[in-house]
Amino acid sequence: MPNTNVMLQSITVQSPGRINIIGEHTDYNDGFVLPAAIDKKTVAHLHRNGQPTRCRITAGNLNETLDIDLDQVKPLAGGWQNYVLGVVHELQKLGAQILGFEGSFQGDVPIGGGMSSSASLECALAFGLNELFDLRLSKTQLIKAAQMAEHNFVGIKCGIMDQFASMMGQKDQVILLDCRSLEYRYFPLELGDYQLLLLHTNVSHSLASSEYNRRRSECEEGVAMIRKKHPEVQHLRDVSLPMLTGFQGNMPETLYTRCRHVVSENQRVLDATQALTTGDIQKLGRLLYQSHHSLQHDYAVSCPELDFLVDQTTGLDFVAGSRMMGGGFGGCTINIIEKKHGDQFVEKVAENYRARFGVDLTPYSVSIEDGAGVLSQAGAL
Ligand code: GLA
């Protein structure tokens, strides 16, 4: 009989980064997204140290250490430490009895790559601490705690997509997530002769966090104006394109275009799942291009490097679609490209990119993997 009284002493867990097929800046508008967990992840090793409140954790990639007093968890000036402190604090807010622990983490999710290295770290810690201390929090609670760590300790008012994908991913499946109800459905990603290819610009513009929060407020301002005429509207999720069109010229142009991106992007996510179901890769690809156009012009979260990489694919019949991925202002494009043309395409684009920006891009051909999980654990009676 298995002994249920074994207390975990140490655990090694992993939690991945994510891609997003389509549905950008829709999550914090109660909308739809279509992400998946990938084969790049954070691995965290955690063990109890027998102390009531003292903790120490090392960021392996940076060789930097953070000491934590569990009685006084507060944000620091900046850096990876706030992801850790934020998660601990948010779990404590849920009543979690975390005791002293030590550990380390390291990962291969590119930082600033738009693959959500931050959610990968937050979820690895939340998941790991939940297991180590038998906190019995649900995955939804862990996801929300990780998201709130980012709001309250990092200062980015992010949506729930990244943490959800990192925690809930399944091999070879994309997740259609309704960010309002948190209902979700897996769809197999079957691309036939095509593959996903990420091209990392290797730039990350400093605007990213301030503009992110600004976009969120712009959406809220847009909703406030729409509500005056349509009081039933809670979020942009509740707005249809015909409803929004009635506001053209009656709200500031910037707010109008921000809203138009979100409203049209929600529809594109639903259309994309349809295209996946019928195996229509060309249609899926067209939706990616439309998404990029909307993010570039209506939502204004792209940058010259991302636009250049998308433009490089236009007119190539072996590329079905391309767009910027994630929050924007740098990071990656996601491309759906015929497998046999991948290498040659990367070579050519890398050369053009270097000539234009003096920067090397990094290609990643990612696979879709499971979300957070235990790699190994050890207990004592
Ligand atoms: C970042 C945020 C997500 C989401 C995307 C844009 O990755 O963390 O919540 O808003 O940007 O879609």
* pLDDT for res 345: 97
As a whole number, mean pLDDT of residues 353-376 equals: 97
CA of 161 to the centre of ligand 1 (A): 7
Fold of 194-365: Alpha-Beta Plaits (3.30.70)
What string of DSSP letters covers 325-338? -SS-SEEEEEEEEE
Contacts 24+ apart (CB under 8 A), 91-96: 91/126, 91/129, 91/130, 91/135, 91/137, 91/145, 93/145, 93/148, 94/137, 94/141, 94/145, 96/129, 96/130, 96/133, 96/135, 96/137
192: pLDDT strictly greater than 90: yes
Containing H/E element for 126?
A: helix 117-132
Containing H/E element for 271?
A: helix 253-278
- Supply the Cα-derived Rg of the chain in whole angstroms: 21
Atom from ligand 1 closest to the CA of residue 150: 8
Q: Does domain 7-188+369-380 have CATH number 3.40.50.1100?
A: no
Distance CA 208, CA 259 (A): 19
* Cα dist from 213 to 210, 217, 291, 350, whole Å: 5, 6, 20, 32
Atom from ligand 1 closest to the CA of residue 116: 7
85: pLDDT strictly greater than 60: yes
Domains 7-188+369-380 and 194-365 share a fold: no
CA of 156 to the centre of ligand 1 (A): 10
* pLDDT for res 381: 66
Instruction: Label residue 78 by pLDDT band (50, 70, 90).
Output: confident
Tell me, using a 6 A CB cutoff, whether residue 25 lines ligand 1: yes
Nearest CA to ligand 1 atom 11: 327
Structure tokens at 288: 């990616």
- pTM for the complete prediction? 0.97
234-279 pLDDT, tens digit each: 999 999 999 999 999 999 999 999 999 999 999 999 999 999 999 9
* pLDDT for res 206: 74
Share of the chain above pLDDT 90, in %: 94
Hey, where are the domains in the chain? 7-188+369-380, 194-365
Question: What is the DSSP code (8-state) at residue 339?
Answer: G
284-336 pLDDT, tens digit each: 999 999 999 999 999 999 999 999 999 999 999 999 999 999 999 999 999 99
CA of 210 to the centre of ligand 1 (A): 13
Active site residues: 162
What is the three-class DSSP state of 194? Answer: strand
* Cα dist from 29 to 156, 204, 237, 265, 295, whole Å: 15, 24, 6, 11, 15
